[in-house]
Structure 1
Amino acid sequence: MAKAWNEFIKNGNISYAVRTEIAKSWRRCMELNVDPMGGKGNSKYKLPLKIIIERNEELISVARPVMESLHSVVAGSGFAIILADKDGYIIDVIGDTDIMKMADELNFVKGELWSEKAVGTNAIGTALFLDKPMQTIGAEHFGIKQHIWTCSASPVHDEDGNIIGCINMSGKFSSAHIHTLGIVISAAESIQKQLALVISNKLMNITFNSICEGMIVLNEKLKTKRVNGRAVEILGVMDKDLKEMDIVQLMKTVNFNEIIKGNSISYNNIECDFHVKGKIVKCIINAVPMQVNKKVIGIVITFREIQDVHRLVSKVIGYNASYNFEDIITQNKKMKDVIKLGKKIAKTDSNILIQGQSGTGKELIAQSIHSYSDRKSGPFVAVNCASIPSELVESELFGYEKGSFTGASKEGHPGKFEIADGGTIFLDEIGELPLDIQSKLLRVLDNNKISRLGATYEKQLNIRVIGATNRNLKEEIKKKNFREDLYYRLNVMSIETIPLNERKEDIDILVKHFVEGLNVKREEFHKKVTENYINKLKEYNWPGNVRELRNVVERDYYLSDDNFILCCSDEEKIYINDEVKAHNEEHHIVPIQILERETIKNALEICKGNMAKTAKYLNISRSTLYRKIKKYNSN
């Protein structure tokens, strides 16, 4: 081989005795102007060792044990084990003293580039170039100073088949053996498998610790083997402490023994109490068995704080505020003062009482306060206290534990206060609450804790309460219908809404706003309001306030024949006859039947008795129209 090398260097001729891979490598080296009289590592391509080590840290940490194991087998045989990165830079070396001395003389050390362009044909550089295992013996090396060496190298790949490094065994020429290459190939495969395992473990750990749920893994003896960071955070304990806790005592309502026995028992989305160092943490849990070959080897428990679940439920079913102060349409000074006050109150965390007539926008103001506050990302839960049957008020507001009464859900049920945790609860028509519930509400306002029906403990909440009523609560206190202490506890901040008859300058902009919304909703219409129409509306007293105004405008919008909205009723009265007006004056309410009868009557007059056209304007079927006419004619 030495003769063939000399012939190539002098005349460029390749002997048939030279392997194809070596011959091609020699030609590449000649084209790269590599010095055949050299072959030692040089400073031309040198990089700071620290940088090279840092960017190959994972490869080094995985390969090092393999290299040590391999060296323990070949120790004393005169071989060095060398690890290079994907470019050919040497990043780790292990070897006997005598061979390491030879390596130093050749500059075959950490930080040196051992590619073909740097030192010519060699096992590391050529293996990386060809992406295949290579063995170079003696004069097969392009650089003459390497002719006393034999080297065997194999590339190391990642899971995607990309070269990430190279493992090499180098020794004296006289120690050359074909088995050396096989040993190196096995070492490269071992490194690749170990790297894949390390990466897989890292991905598993990253996944384990990045999921939003707490996770506890138990073995078959119910001993905690792993917990993730979220579990530690939710339960408020240290990782080490949680692993040492008795899971059976921690979660008393879960029958872990039955799960371990393999009785096809699992817990899915079940409410569970964690008893942690004297406190109770309520969570929604899943507890499922881990099975291998049909044998249960452990249990995986995942859980979320019930507050997080409630927050998610709130988003899904619409427990959020839709309005803010910019949605309140007004030119009235008093109303602007209400908005200004509302913004100030929103920045506090005090309880609020909103008082005013029906239809004056009490909930609109409550939602705006929530949207303007620091709680805006939390739920906004609105409850109409008058609409809940008295026997269900407590369970609806404060929830109940499983089995607390006949017909109760077996998992228990959170009340509106729990769902509103972290946000705002709006108790509309709060004056309708029964006295016994008022007493319980007072306790909630005092300490922000609630106790479910049938529960033996209280749960701390972070919640703001906004109450609203159209009643005169001071009068209700005198009548013993409302607790005086609750009134003062709730009325920390007070807002009085302005009735529409005191802000008639807003009728113009409100009507135009309602009409614009109707025009957008019904593309086939594009109606306008006249000054005469606005003036007629301003003549009315509006006992139903903005809500009544919106309803009247909507009726007139659909019942007007042309593009201009008209008052579709008697010119001196907007929509109500004397009978309706009498009801308004006496009770401040209009029975639905009277409004419906008047609407049908006016529609028939406008449509000149055309039943099909009347039904179309009223957006009902002709059969429904006939039935209603028959009903009202019989009264």
Structure 2
Amino acid sequence: MEYKEHNYELIKEYWNRYVAGYEEMPEHLEGLDDRVLNSWKRSKLKANPFETNPPLLNQVELENLTKEKQDLIKIAVPYMIQFYEIAKNTTQNVLLTDAEGKQLKNISANNKDLLEIMTHASVANGSNYAEDVCGTSSVSLSLYEDSPILLRGYEHYRAIYHNLACFSLPIHSLGNKQVGCICITGPLDKYQPLVSSAGLMMVHAIENELRLTQSNFITDIIAQNFSQGFMLFNSQHNILRLNDKAKALLRIRQDMVGHEFEEYFLNDFNEIIELEKQHEKQKFQYTLILKNGLQIALSVLAVPIKENNQEDMFLLIFTSVGEANKEASMKVGYTARYYFRDIVGESEEIKKVKELGKLASKSSSSVLITGEAGTGRELLAQAIHTGGERRESPFITVRCGSVPKEMMEIELFGDDENSQIGKIELADKGTLFLDEIENLSIECQVKILSYLRTGMMENGKKLSVRIIACSQKDLLHLVSVNQFRSDLYYKLNVISIIVPPLRRRRADIRPLIQYYTDRYRKMLRKDVTNIEKRCIEVMTNYNWPGNVRELESTVEHLVNMASGHVMKFKDLPDEIVTGYLSQKYIGPEEEVQKIISPEKVECSEIIKCLKREHGHMKTVATVLHMPLSTLYRKCSKYNIDPKNYREW
């Protein structure tokens, strides 16, 4: 779906002339959608563009309307909430109307600024957005044109909507009749095109479910849980319906329809009914016992179904406990997001790293990545995963330094007693990334080594997991002091990749600065296109002890601080300028290390003050509470030339 480029000032002029003013509207206005113009014409004699208190349904009218539209509300609201959970950081408000444009429900962030905007725009349940009431609105135009409509700013007829961007989509029933409308509303300056795609997906989902509901109420429940097993019972506990997934989970091949629950299971069905009442539409764990004594642990959702206000059916939706835990864990986001193209750099050093990474991605052997913090070890690990045959499978990360040692074994290998699945099993068919593996306990090292040798868990389950480990430390040294097993080291170090620190690949600094500048100027909506010469000099020569992570943070800081198109030297963090000047005027890093601690601190303070006071020695001496002659003597001692700061 395409929209014309939005010219805010031009449309504002049109609105002032033809809506607020008295000029006759022409047949066409360049830069304004003809559908909007035609709606303005229809609205001219019906709605007041300056109305601030549009009519609302009274409480009784609203209650009657929501009751009448309860099926639509019941289906739409969960998708609205789901959309809001995704879009809340973009300060979007989602509302549902009936086919006449009357608001039924509203989902909004608990955001003070957004709430104020919505209140100012009189967005409330019972509001009427019909064209003959409020003029051109995205809701009314979407219903009139039977099409998705995006209105921004002055395209709205009513003035109270001029600071909003509104995207509306009609909702259709099984017979393709309009039954309502979804409107996604937010501040004009925070509108994102992603909202349109997400809105289309949401309405498509609502329409699909609405049509299923109209076709068959039971089919609707099944459709919401199609990936799980289900069994439908009547009030006498006879099986009315079940799917193949249920048969597979229950290890039953014959047709169970028409048979009683008790013919197959030793459990008391009334026990399940009582558990449903306790959990109130929440899943619970339950063990079904077959007649042959086999016990099957399930995660169950029990749903009593009302037909004509009679609870005469009962639906069980279930999956195995292991699958339920695995599904829940996968939803956390265990996927790799980065590719080799995301590794920014032009140096020979980083090219070599990429070459080794690409070779590793074609193999299933273990990889050991070493390098300082912030160099991009995990990015490389993800690129190896996405570059290989396992790209469609999970990429599971275990931060060995963050998990308490006493919990690490459960984290990796799970806990059968509590039905907790381990990360190594979650990584089956994919990659297990062990970050800071030097923190792994000896006990866990033994178990990891056992898996690498056999490909099997202790319970005999065979897995296919590729292991990539990374470390900040010299693992061979840890081996020599008996803090890391040598046999595990050699099993992991089949393919070894060392990611060099940024100070060893300075050719990558400028491309990285450009990359992060582009990212954050878009993210922060700042028109930053250049960097001051003095600023780039410092950044390209600074040693970056925090590596790429520190550089990224610095660029984000500079973009935030920029008041125009240029990132400036004056906005660099003091510690970076101080570090750079220490390198430049005191000597190389090796010599800096020779300065005893108090002198190093004193030197850094002098440099900070010189920078802050633009080289004015008298002011610096006053700030540091020392005689001017002493300050000159100390500058000479530390090889600091005050003249170098006067232009800054």
Report the TM-score when normalising by structure 1. 0.49
Report the TM-score when normalising by structure 2. 0.48
Q: Which has the larger radius of gyration?
A: 1
